[in-house]
Amino acid sequence: MVEVKIESTPRETRILGRVAGATNPESAELLDDGETLIFGNCTMVMGNPHHRNGKSLVYLEGQAFITQAKITGEGRTEVTRWRLVDGLTGTLGIEVHRKGTALWPAGTGLIACGGRPFAKSLQDPLGSMIDARQQIYAFDPVTGESRGRIALWAGSAFAKAIGHHVEMPNGLAVSPDGDLYLADNPNSNPEAAQPPPVPSCVYRIPYESIDGLLQDDPDAAAAVQAVEWVGWFNGVAASPIDGSAWVVTCSYHDPLNGAVIRLDAADFAAGRLPDPFVKDLGICDGVAVTKRGTVFATNPIAKEILCFPADGSRQRLVIEGQRLPVANPADINVIYPKFLGGEPALTVGDICVGWEPETAQVLVLDIAGL
């Protein structure tokens, strides 16, 4: 794939908050108190000889965790519980379910985790399909207490309904109506990128099916809808305006060369991928949408965060005219911190691929007016 540089104008931002010392923090979200941040630390390594001759990423089994922090004003960010939830594998997209169900209350934290490839250590063989526990894990974002899981692994009700398991649960989003969107990036073939072990899909889990899936009910799983693409999906967001899903594509063999795509209810019902909102962005990772309809996407290779306001312009975030101080911007979430009085900010998981543990960061950027 050729990285295509789109024409864009710089848009100034500033760092409102920063949590240092993280480990590959893929995604961060804000609770409804307007102050509490939660993010996953996704422990992974390069150099495992059992996966593509050590030239690709492998998650370390049981060594991922979730951190809780506070942002109470510009420049005022502190960690409150470093290991709120511990012992997970491959913690990627994180969300808050603000509607709640009969089995979990509003404000429940959700994280996509358990994806392959994983191993116990840098040198160990890759974990088996039997040991994989791909899932959407639910937890109390204040105490860390478990609130169940939606099983996505082989043999689960979800996997039986869609015809295959979810290999690497990655992007995760919750619509205003409580539906879940989940993106799978099955980049786990130990020999090469192609063929993937399962199709890359973005899934819609209807709100009404959540409680049933928490109990592995086949009837609830039968309502899950999927849209497939050869180019793999990564981050996914739910529009706060109409509840539609926004997803980005992420692979070197992607015919769209990195695209942002909006999917509505009709697209999921038909199982079709619509024409992209924008393409030729290169490798994409995260996507987010504000209440004003501004769309953001990250390109971790170019180290850029691109911005598409409702006026049709194309922009890129900069600080004092210079490139953002990020190594690999991954998933992003639009948040509304209390101290901004209703204006949005953007959480940026800067995963710092290949760096030592506890050297990555989570940034909170000012996107007021967007």
Residue 1 confidence (pLDDT) above 60: no
pLDDT value of residue 324: 95
Q: Which of 141, 139, 190 is nearest to 167 (CA)?
A: 190
The answer to whether 146 and 138 have CB atoms below 8 angstroms apart is yes
Write the pLDDT tens digit of every residue in 207-248.
Answer: 999 999 999 999 999 999 999 999 999 999 999 999 999 999
Cis peptide before 357 (omega within 30 of 0): no
Q: Is the pTM of this model over 0.75?
A: yes
Nearest-angstrom CA–CA distance, 216 and 220: 8
Q: Which of 188, 71, 47 is nearest to 121 (CA)?
A: 47
Nearest-angstrom CA–CA distance, 355 and 155: 35
Average pLDDT over residues 304-320: 95
Neighbour-count burial of 145, counting CB atoms closer than 10 A to its CB (0-12 exposed, 13-18 middle, 19+ buried): exposed
End-to-end alpha-carbon separation of the chain, Å?
31
pLDDT value of residue 6: 58
In 150-181, which positions are buried (b, 16+ CB within 10 angstroms) versus exposed (e)?
A: bbbbbebbbbebbebbbbbbbbbbbbeebbbb
Residue 5 confidence (pLDDT) above 70: no
Average pLDDT over residues 273-302: 96
Phi, psi of 265 (to 5 degrees): -60, -40
Nearest-angstrom CA–CA distance, 30 and 8: 29
Nearest-angstrom CA–CA distance, 169 and 161: 17
Q: Check the CA dihedral 285-14-10-292 and report its sign.
A: positive
Question: In Å, how far are 37, 141, 143, 337, 343 from 363, measured between CA atoms?
Answer: 11, 19, 23, 13, 17
> Tokens standing for 360?
């990555």
Write the pLDDT tens digit of every residue in 107-149.
Answer: 999 999 999 999 999 999 999 998 999 999 999 999 999 999 9
